[in-house]
Structure 1
Amino acid sequence: MTKLQTITLGFVLLFSSLSFAQDTKPEEVKNIMKKVADWQIEHFRDAFTYENPHHPLDWTNGALYVGMVKWAEMAEDDTYYVWLKTIGELNDWKLHSRTYHADDHTVGQFYLDLYKKFGDKKMLNPTQEQFNFILYHPANTSLKWQSPYHQSRWNWCDALFMSPPVWAKLYNITGELKYLDFMMTEFKATTDFLFDKDENLYYRDESYMGKLDNGTKIFWSRGNGWVFAGLANIMNELDPKSDEYQYFKGLFEKMAAKLLKIQTPEGHWAMSLLGQEFYPTPETSGTSFYVYGLAWGINHGILDKKTYGPAVDKAWKALVGHVNKEGMLGYVQPIGAAPGKAWPDKTEVYGAGAFLSAGTEVYKLYGGK
C-alpha cells in the first residue's frame, strides 16, 4: 500500500467512526443536562413512586447524587457542588441507617468524590469508619433470596451499583488493599451466583432464576443497568493494568456485546431485555445507564467507537426525546425489581441521576472538553 493510500484509508476510517455524532454538538448535550439537573433540584422533594418524599440518604437520591456530582465537575457553575455539599452537611456525612445494606451505602459515592475535590476529612471519615466495621464484622449470610438477613450481602444485582464503587473509591483514596480485597471477594461471589454465562446478563436475584416471561428469561433492564454503570464506576478507581481492572473489563465487554445485539430499533432497551416485543414502552433509567456505560467504554478505549458509537447516538437521541420542555425526564420506571410499566409524565430521581451520568460521557464522545 502506498503512503497516499494509507493516509486516505486513515481518513476514511476516521470519518466513518465519527459520522454518527456529527449532527449533535457537545453544547447541546450540556444544555439538556443543565435543564434536567435544574429541574430535578427544583423538584428534589417531590415523590413519584410513593406518597412520601424519599429520605435524602435513600438509594434513590444516592443514584441522583452519583450523576449530579459528575455533572457538577463539568458544569462550570459551583451551584451544583454547593447543593451537594449542603446535603452532606445536613446529614453529617453519614451513610443511611442500615449498616450492611448496599442501598444505604450509595450516598458514599458522592461523599468520597467531594472528598477528592475538597480534601475535607469530615466528608470521608463516617464512611470509612462504617466500612472498617464491616471489614471486621463481615456478614456471613447466604446469597439465596429471602434467607435470614440475606441483603446484608450483595445478593441482588442492583447492589453492584450501590456499594462496590464506594469500596473502590476508599481503596483509591487510602491505598489500603483491604478495601479492594473485600470488594473483589463479594463482587465475585455475587457474579458467580447471579450472572448467566449463556446470556451475559445478571438476574435481579435468585427468585428470577428459572422463571420465564412470555417464554423468555427475565433480565430486568434497570437491574442490568445498575450493574453495567457500576462496572464503569468501579473501573474509574482502578489501575487499568491491574488484575482487578481486567476482571471487571471482561464482564463489561461481555455485557456490552450483548446490549448491542438487543437494543430496540427505537434506541432504548426494553424493560425485559430479551422480551422487547412484549415490553414496547420506552424506559429511560435502564437506557441511561447503558448509554453511560457504552459511551464510557468508548471514551476509555475499551469499546470500538465505530461499532458502538451508533448505538450510543441512537439511544441518546431517544433519551433526549423523553425530556419535556421543563426538563423532566419521562418514562422512568417506578421503583421495582422486574419489568413493568413506565409513563411519559412520570419520573424518579434515580432516572435523572442516570441521565446526568450518561450525558457526561456522551459530551466527551461528541468532542466536549
Structure 2
Amino acid sequence: MNSIFKKGKLALTILTVGICGTAWAQTNAPTKQEIHNSMQKVADWQIENFWEAGHGRRVHQPTNWTNGALYVGMMKWANLSDDETYTDFLEGIGEKTEWKLGERHGLYHADEHAVGQMYLELYRKFDDEKMLEPTQKQMEYIIYHPSQSSLHWKTPYHQDRWNWCDALFMSPPVWAKLTKITGEEKYLDFMVSEFKATTDFLFDKKESLYYRDESFFDKTDNGTKIFWSRGNGWVFAGLANILEELEPGTSEHKYFVKIYKKMAKRLKELQTADGYWAMSLLGAEYYPTPETSGTGFFTFGFAWGINNGILDKEDYTPVVWKGWNALQQCVTDDGMLGYVQPIGAAPGQAWPDKTEVYGVGAYLSAGSEVYKMAQ
C-alpha cells in the first residue's frame, strides 16, 4: 500500500478495499446488511489481534483508556449483533481485571475511569454486583474527597480534574450511568459541576470547539487555532453517551444538548469534501491525510443525534452518510481499520497500515447508530 500526498491537496491512496480519498465522497445510504457485515469484520479482526502488537500499535493494559474506548464501541456492537461472542470477550476482560478501574495515574484520573463504562453496561445486562461495586465505590470516594487541584495545565495534580478535553469522554458517562442505575442524583450533580468547570475553561465560544488543554490557548498552526479532531471527537461522542443516560426535559439534559448542538453546527461546516474531518479542524489544507478516529466519533455523534430527534434529519443525514462511507474506504479486506492517528494530543500524521483500538471503538460506536438510520 502506497500513499502520495501533496501539500494542501489530497492524492488518492490505494487500500486493499479501494480508494481512501476524495474520489469516494458519497452521500448514498448503505444497507443494514452492509453496515452489519462491516462492523462484524472490524470487531472480529480486533478481537483476534487484541493481545498482539503490530500495525503501529502496542498491546495495552486491559484497563488502559485506549481499551476503555474500544470497549464502549464493542459493547454497542455486542448489543446490536446479539452475538454472545462479543459479550463473552468483554466479560472476560472484566474477570481478568476483577472489575477494577485503572490504577496507573491514580484514583482521580479520567483515563482510569473509561473502562467503567463497559463494566456498568455488563452490570445492566447481568445484574451482577461484582461488576458494579468497584466502580461505584471509587466514585463515592471521589465525591466525598473531591480534588482541590487547579484546571491550569502543569499545576500540581492538575489531571486529577478534567482539564483536558479527552477526559470528557472517559469519565463523565460513568457518572451518568451510575445515576441512571442507582437513581442517586449525587453522581449527576458531581459530574455536571465538573463538566461545566471544564467547559468554561476549554470551550472556545467563537468556534464552538474545545481546546485540547490550556497549553493550546495561544498556539497556532499555519496561522490557524489548533482544534484537534480526535480531541473534539472525544467530547462530541462523550456528549452523546452522557445524553443517552439523562431524562429529556431536565435542566441537565438541556445543558448538554445546548453544547452538543453548537458543536454539531460547527462540525457540519468543517467536514471535508471527502467525508472526513481533518486532524486540525480549522487547517484541513495542511492535514489532507484521512483520519478515522476523529471521523468515527463525529459520525457516531451525528447519527446518534438524528436517531434521538435532537438533530434535523434532513440537514444532517448527508453528513452521516459521507462520514460512514469515507470510513469504509479505510477498512482492509481482513477487517483492519487503517488511518487511525496514533496516541497523541494534537494534529499529526496517520497511515493506511496503522491502527489503534480506540479508533475501532469509534468505528463500532458509529456503526451502531448508522445501522439504526439505514433502511
Per the alignment, residue 244 of structure 1 pairs with: 252
Per the alignment, residue 344 of structure 1 pairs with: 352
CA offsets 1:73-122 (integer angstroms, 9 cap, x no match): 01121100011001101111000002000000000000001111110010
Contact 2:239 2:260 in 1 (8 A): yes
Q: Which residues in structure 2 correspond to 1:306-317 (within 5 Å)?
A: 306-317=314-325
Q: Distance in 2 between matches of 1:310 and 1:51?
A: 32
Matched, 1:71 2:77: yes
Matched, 1:123 2:131: yes
**Corresponding letter in the other structure for 1:43:** N
Per the alignment, residue 94 of structure 1 pairs with: 100
Per the alignment, residue 212 of structure 1 pairs with: 220
Q: Which residues in structure 2 correspond to 1:140-159 (within 5 Å)?
A: 140-159=148-167
Q: Distance in 2 between matches of 1:48 and 1:343?
A: 13
Helix, strand or coil for the counterpart of 1:28? helix
Matched, 1:41 2:47: yes
**Corresponding letter in the other structure for 1:54:** H
Match of 2:343 among 327, 335, 338: 335
How far off its partner does 1:23 sit?
4.5
How far off its partner does 1:258 sit?
0.2
CA offsets 1:267-289 (integer angstroms, 9 cap, x no match): 00000000000000000000000
How far off its partner does 1:22 sit?
5.9
Per the alignment, residue 21 of structure 2 pairs with: none
**Corresponding letter in the other structure for 1:362:** V
Match of 1:139 among 130, 144, 147: 147
Q: Distance in 2 between matches of 1:49 and 1:163?
A: 28
Q: Distance in 1 between matches of 2:145 and 2:54?
A: 37
Q: 1:247 to 1:55 in 2, by over 3 A?
A: same
Q: Distance in 2 between matches of 1:31 and 1:247?
A: 37
Helix, strand or coil for the counterpart of 2:149? coil
CA offsets 1:45-65 (integer angstroms, 9 cap, x no match): 233587752001100000000
Helix, strand or coil for the counterpart of 1:124? helix
> CA RMSD of the aligned region, Å?
1.2
Aligned residues: 348
**Corresponding letter in the other structure for 2:63:** L
Q: 1:348 to 1:251 in 2, by over 3 A?
A: same
Per the alignment, residue 312 of structure 2 pairs with: 304
Q: 1:140 to 1:180 in 2, by over 3 A?
A: same
The percent of aligned pairs where both chains have the same amino acid is 65
Helix, strand or coil for the counterpart of 1:277? helix
Per the alignment, residue 103 of structure 1 pairs with: 111
Q: Distance in 1 between matches of 2:282 and 2:370?
A: 26
Q: Distance in 2 between matches of 1:146 and 1:342?
A: 28
CA offsets 1:221-254 (integer angstroms, 9 cap, x no match): 0000000000000000000111101100000000
Matched, 1:62 2:57: no
Q: Distance in 1 between matches of 2:68 and 2:267?
A: 25
CA offsets 1:128-156 (integer angstroms, 9 cap, x no match): 00111111110010000010000000000
TM-score, structure 2 length as denominator?
A: 0.91
Per the alignment, residue 188 of structure 1 pairs with: 196
Match of 2:294 among 256, 263, 286: 286
Matched, 1:274 2:288: no
Q: Could you list the runs of 5+ residues in structure 2 that have no partner in the other structure? A: 1-25
Contact 1:48 1:348 in 2 (8 A): no
How far off its partner does 1:71 sit?
0.3
Q: Distance in 1 between matches of 2:300 and 2:356?
A: 18
Matched, 1:30 2:36: yes
Structure 1 window deviating more from structure 2 (44-53 vs 101-110): it is 44-53
**Corresponding letter in the other structure for 1:31:** N
Q: 1:132 to 1:318 in 2, by over 3 A?
A: same
TM-score, structure 1 length as denominator?
A: 0.93
Helix, strand or coil for the counterpart of 2:284? coil
Contact 1:297 1:303 in 2 (8 A): yes
Contact 2:57 2:355 in 1 (8 A): no
CA offsets 1:273-316 (integer angstroms, 9 cap, x no match): 00000000000000000000000000000111111111110110
Contact 1:49 1:334 in 2 (8 A): no
Q: Distance in 1 between matches of 2:146 and 2:43?
A: 37
